[in-house]
Structure formats: structure tokens, C-alpha cells
Amino acid sequence: MTGSLIALAVLALVACGPYILDAYGIGLLIGAVSYTILASAWAMFSGPTRYISLATVAFYGTGAYTVAVLSEALPWPLVLVSAAVIGGVLALLVGLSTLRLAGIYFVIFSFGLAELIRQLITWFEVSVSGTLGRYIFLELEPRHVLWQLLALAAVVVLITGWIHRSRIGLALKVIGDDETVAAHAGINLARTKLILFVLSSVLITLVGAIQSPRWVYVEPGIVFNPQVSFLTVIMALLGGATKRWGPVLGAVPLFLLFEWLSARFPDHFSILLGLLFIGVVFLLPDGVLAAIEKLRKKKEARA
């Protein structure tokens, strides 16, 4: 409870950023808040189920593309609602067909999903609508994007708080510990995972939709950049996907680090990212916090 209140207070504070920061600063805030939501939403599903999903950009890109297609036809709130509905339906279909897969097949499928959607959209744009790129002309300034992201972050805080106190939160903890026990205690595994996957995917879709006006010009290759998926996994895992504030602790410093790295080593950034991804997945799958806790326990046991 106090945790949620502190988080909401921090969000309110960040909302004042545009009054003191320049365009570059606001851009940094937008990136940091975007990745904080992405990592938190990712961890909502992948933390307890331990499915490493690389589908983040599939939903993120779907959100952005929905805006590109609908922004002139519909008022902005309806565009966002449409993005959420499309992301949700997509997640439902994907979830129904993949959540029975074993972990490693799920990773591969989730990675392929973004590529599949990218190719589908490319094919559609080229052969049906006859244009590959699209422009997003919206009267939304960076600060408006930031405020909307902060509002979404507040929704995430409230939803996570609610999950922790509700039946589905207990079900998730049990699934995280032992799926066999969970099923034998009466928990419907498939339904619980599906609900979480859809919820997480809708939030990710909304991040893509809300921050899309930043791009102005979009095409599938820009929007469906696999780096987004990898960054999200690294941030959530390094911070600790099973801890409530883990993804936030991972997202903010890592986003800043990645900004610096990609400016400093533009040619080698992808390699660095790949190495980091492998390192995190193998060495610290439970996050830095959990690793520190383990070390501390070991020390205590020895003392």
C-alpha cells in the first residue's frame, strides 16, 4: 500500500519534468518511463510463469501501427481504445495457441511473432494500401506523450497492487513456485496464464501507441525493432522479474546506460546488447536483488 503511494508520488514528481527540462531531458524521461512500463508489464506475465517472452515489440509495434493507421480517422482516445482492443485480441489468439508450449518453444515463437506481424504488415502495405511508410500527424507534444505515459504507469501501479492483494496474485505466486501443486490445488493454469498474458500485452500495446507520435514517420522496420524486446527482458530480469519493484529498478538505470552506450558505441551496441542478454539469462535469471539476497544468506549461514 505505502509502496503504491510512494510510486504514485514519484510519478507526479516526474510529471513536473517538462517545466524544468529541455527537449533532450523530456526525451530521456519518455524513454525511461516507457521502458519502466514495458519491463513491469513484461514481468507481470513472465515473472511468475518464467516464460521468457520476446514478443514485447510485436505488441509495442502493433500499438504504434494502430496509431499510424487510425490517427486521422478517429479521435485520440478512441485510437488508444482501438489499440488496446487490437493488442488484447492478438494476445488472446497468441496465448491460446502458445501457452501450452514448453518454455524454449515459447521463446522461439514469441520472437518469431514480431517478425511475422512485421512481414504481414509490410505485405499488406505494399500490395493492398500501396504505401510502405506512414506519417503520424498529431498535435501532441513530447510533454503530452510523457503525461500520458505517466498516467499509464499509474494504472500499472494500481493494477499490480490489486493483483498482489487478489486471488489471481496468490495463484501466480503458486504457479511461480510449482505448477503441479498449483493445478492440484484447483488453479486453472491455462486461464490464469492467459489472463496475465493478455493484460501484460495490452499495457505493452498502449506504450507503443502512446509514444508513437514521437516518430512522425513510421514503417514496419522502424516500429518492429527487436532491440525493444531484448532490452525489456534484460531490464526486467536484471532488476528482478518476481519482485514488485524489480523491473523499475532495472529499467531506469539500464535505459540511461543503454542511451549512453548507443551514443558512444553506435557500431557495437547490438553486440553489447546480445552479450548482456545472454549473460543475464544465464547468470542472473532471478535478478540482482535476488542474487544479493542469496549472497547475504550464504554469509549468514557461514557466520
- Binding residues for other proteins (CB under 8 A): 167, 170-171, 173-174, 176-178, 180-189
Asked whether the CA dihedral 55, 56, 62, 65 is positive or negative, the reply is negative
Nearer to other proteins, 47 or 142 (CB): 47
Shortest gap between Cβ of 126 and other proteins (angstroms)? 45
Shortest gap between Cβ of 193 and other proteins (angstroms)? 13
Q: 58 to each of 53, 85, 98, 117, 290, how far by Cα in Å? A: 10, 15, 15, 7, 29
Q: Nearest CA to 30 among 255, 201, 200, 244?
A: 255
Asked whether the CA dihedral 229, 235, 238, 240 is positive or negative, the reply is negative
Nearer to other proteins, 144 or 173 (CB): 173
Distance CA 89, CA 243 (A): 28
Nearer to other proteins, 101 or 183 (CB): 183
Shortest gap between Cβ of 166 and other proteins (angstroms)? 9
Nearer to other proteins, 34 or 49 (CB): 49
Shortest gap between Cβ of 240 and other proteins (angstroms)? 13
Shortest gap between Cβ of 154 and other proteins (angstroms)? 26
Nearer to other proteins, 173 or 214 (CB): 173
Nearer to other proteins, 66 or 192 (CB): 192
Shortest gap between Cβ of 177 and other proteins (angstroms)? 4
Distance CA 209, CA 203 (A): 10
Nearer to other proteins, 99 or 146 (CB): 99
Shortest gap between Cβ of 201 and other proteins (angstroms)? 24
